[in-house]
Amino acid sequence: MQALKIAATGMSAQQTRVDVTSNNIANMSTTAYDRRRASFADLHYQVLRAPGTLSAQSGERLPVGVELGFGVGTVAVAVDRRQGALRATGGELNVAVEGDGYFEVELPGGGTAFTRDGAFQLSADGVVVNQQGFTLADAITVPQDARAIEISADGTVTAVFEDGARIEQLGEIALARFVNAPGLTALGDNLFLETEASGPALRDQPGIDGRGFLRQGFLEDSSVDVVAEITELIEAQRGYELNARVLAAADEMLGATARIR
Amino acid sequence: MGEAVTAVLAGGLRLQRAQVDLTAHNMANQSTVGFRAQRPVASEHVYARAPASVSVVRLAAAMVDETGGRQTVTGAPLDLAIDGEGYFQVAGPDGAPLLTRAGQFERTAAGAIVAPDGAAVLDEGGAPLAIPADAASVDIARDGTITADGQPVGRVGVVTTEGALVRRVGARFAAEGPVVPVDAPRVRQGVLENANVDPIGELTRLIEASRRYEMLQGMVEKEDGRVGNLIETLSRVR
C-alpha cells in the first residue's frame, strides 16, 4: 500500500506552493520583483499490466493497463517575467526599463550581475552605483559641479551645468537581454547571474529587440498580484488538507489490516 | 469452501487498497499542470468452477480520465493549453515522441522550445521547434502557428491517437498506436490547463473505499470465527 507515501509527496508539493506564494507576497513591494511559480510533475509509475498486452482470458489486446503512480514532485520554480507598473518617483537617478532589458552592475568580487531595479545613487566620488553600492557596468561618473542629470530613453546620460549653459555627455547605459530570462539565477538583492540556461547577456542600446526604453524618474513596481497570490494560498492550503485526509484514510486502513487476526 | 471465502475477501481488500493508492496519486497531483486523473476499473475473475462457481474481484485497468481540466490564465507567452481534444508532442528520453496536455514551455539559451525538464517540444511532423534567439515577441495563433517578430517560424503539433496511452513521468503518455494530427486544433496562448482531478469526487471515493475495506475486514474476522467454531465443534465429535 503506497497511499501513505503518495499522500506525503502531495503534502510536500502543496507546502512548496505555500512557500513560493509567501515569498511572492513578501515581495509585493520589492522594486521590479517578478513573481515565482512552482510547477509540479507526476512521479514514475509501477506498471502492473501494460496496455496493449494480450489478455490471458480472451486473447484480445488490452485497451488500457494498470499503472499505479507514486505521487508528485516539484520540477521547477519558474520566474514569471512580466512588466510591472511604473511608479513616478521623481528621483533623477531612478530609471525604469519598459521592456525585457536588464542593467548590468559590477560585483565587488569580479564578474557582473543583472538587475531591473533602477534605483541608482551616486557614490562619494560621483560614480553611479546601485542600492548595494555596486558600480553600473557602463561606468558613468558625474562631475561634482553638475546641476542635473538627464537620462534619455535610449540610454544617453548627459550632465547639465550652471543653469543649462553647458551640457556634457557622460556616457550611455546599455541594457542586457537574455534569450531565456527565466533561466537567470537569483542572487538576492534584486540581482541575477547569467547561466547556461539563460544564455549569454546580449548587450545593446535600450529599445533594440525588445530591450525596452529607459524611463528616468520612474521605478518598476513588483509584478505580484496579491489577489491572485491569496487565491493560490487558499488553494494550496485546501490541497494540503485533502492530501492529509488521504494520509489519515490510508492510516486507518493499515490499522484495520493490523487488526485482522 | 472456507478457502474460497478467504480468497474472495482478500481480492476485495486488495481492490480497495488499489483504489486508495490511485486516489492518493490523483490527490497528490491536483496541482500538476496537464495531469489526467486515473480511474480504476474492477473486473470479475473466475476463481473456481466446481463444486460451486466462485469469482473474485480484481483491478483490471486504470483508465485515463479524458475530461478537460480547468484553465488558468498566466500570461506567459509559452504557456499553452488545448481546448478540446489533442495532445502536445515532446521528445521522449529514447527519442520517440510522448503526448502531453501540460503546455508549460520555456525557451533555452539556443532558442529551442522545451518543457520544464528540457524535453524538446515538437511540431506535427515530430521536428523540434525553435524561436530565433533575437526574437523579442512570440505569438502563437489558435491553430498553433508560432510567429516571432511577425515572421512565422513553425507550428506547435497537436495530435491524437486511437491506440492505448501508457503513462510516463511528467504528465506524459506514450502512444501505443499511430499518432495523427488533430484537424482543427484550438491552442490558447498564455493559458495553462490544470489537473482534471475533482477533489470532492476523490474524497468520496476515498471514504467509500475505506468503509468497504472496514466492512470486508469485519467479514474476514467473522469467517475466522466461523472456521474456529467449526473446528471446535468437529473436534468434540467422537
CB within 8 Å: A65 and B220: no
Q: DSSP secondary-structure letter at A181?
A: G
pLDDT tens-digit readout, A191-248 = 999 998 888 999 999 988 888 899 999 999 999 999 999 999 999 999 999 999 999 9
Over residues A185-189, the mean pLDDT reads 89
- Angstroms from B143 CA to nearest CA on chain A: 24
Residue A2 confidence (pLDDT)? 85
- Pairwise CA distance, residues A242 & A235, whole Å: 11
Q: Can you point out the beta strands (E) in A80-177? A: 86-88, 95-98, 103-106, 112-115, 121-122, 128-129, 146-151, 156-161, 166-172, 175-177
Helices (H), chain B: 2-28, 199-236
- Yes or no: say if B168 and A207 are a contact pair by the CB < 8 Å rule: no
The rounded mean pLDDT for chain B is: 89
pLDDT tens-digit readout, B161-220 = 888 888 888 899 998 888 999 988 999 999 999 999 998 899 999 999 999 999 999 998
Residue B2 confidence (pLDDT)? 65
Nearest-by-CA chain B residue for A255: B214
Residue A261 confidence (pLDDT)? 66
Where residue A68 falls among pLDDT bands split at 50, 70, 90?
Answer: confident
pLDDT over threshold 70, residue A26: yes
pLDDT tens-digit readout, B57-68 = 888 888 888 888
CB within 8 Å: B24 and A182: no
Nearest-by-CA chain B residue for A177: B134
Q: Which residues contact A82 (CB under 8 A, 6 or more apart)?
A: A34, A35, A223, B75, B76
CB within 8 Å: B163 and A52: yes
Residue B238 confidence (pLDDT)? 63
Residues in chain A with CB shorter than 8 Å from the CB of B202 are 242
Q: Which residues contact A156 (CB under 8 A, 6 or more apart)?
A: A169, A172
- Pairwise CA distance, residues B212 & B209, whole Å: 5
Residue A151 pairs in a beta bridge with A157
Residues in chain B with CB shorter than 8 Å from the CB of A175 are none
Residues 126-185 of B with CB under 8 A from A: 133-134, 136-137, 163-171, 176
pLDDT tens-digit readout, B97-121 = 999 999 999 888 888 999 988 899 9
CB within 8 Å: A10 and B28: yes
Q: Look up residue B9 and give its three cell numbers.
A: 475477501
Residues in chain A with CB shorter than 8 Å from the CB of B105 are none
pTM for the predicted model, two decimal places: 0.83
pLDDT tens-digit readout, A150-166 = 999 999 999 988 777 78
CB within 8 Å: B163 and A68: no
Residues in chain B with CB shorter than 8 Å from the CB of A210 are 136-137
Over residues A99-109, the mean pLDDT reads 92
- Pairwise CA distance, residues A18 & A229, whole Å: 10
- B23 → closest Cβ in A37, A41, A246: A246
Q: Look up residue A198 and give its three cell numbers.
A: 539563460
Over residues B13-23, the mean pLDDT reads 92
- The neighbour count for residue B51, using CB atoms within 10 Å, is 8
Where residue B53 falls among pLDDT bands split at 50, 70, 90?
Answer: confident
- Angstroms from A179 CA to nearest CA on chain B: 5
- Pairwise CA distance, residues A106 & A116, whole Å: 14
Dihedral angle of Cα B165, B167, B172, B174, to the nearest 10 degrees: -50
Residues in chain A with CB shorter than 8 Å from the CB of B136 are 100, 209-210
Q: Look up residue A37 and give its three cell numbers.
A: 511559480
Nearest-by-CA chain A residue for B39: A66
Residue A199 confidence (pLDDT)? 87
Q: Which residues contact B8 (CB under 8 A, 6 or more apart)?
A: B47, B54, B55, B56, B57
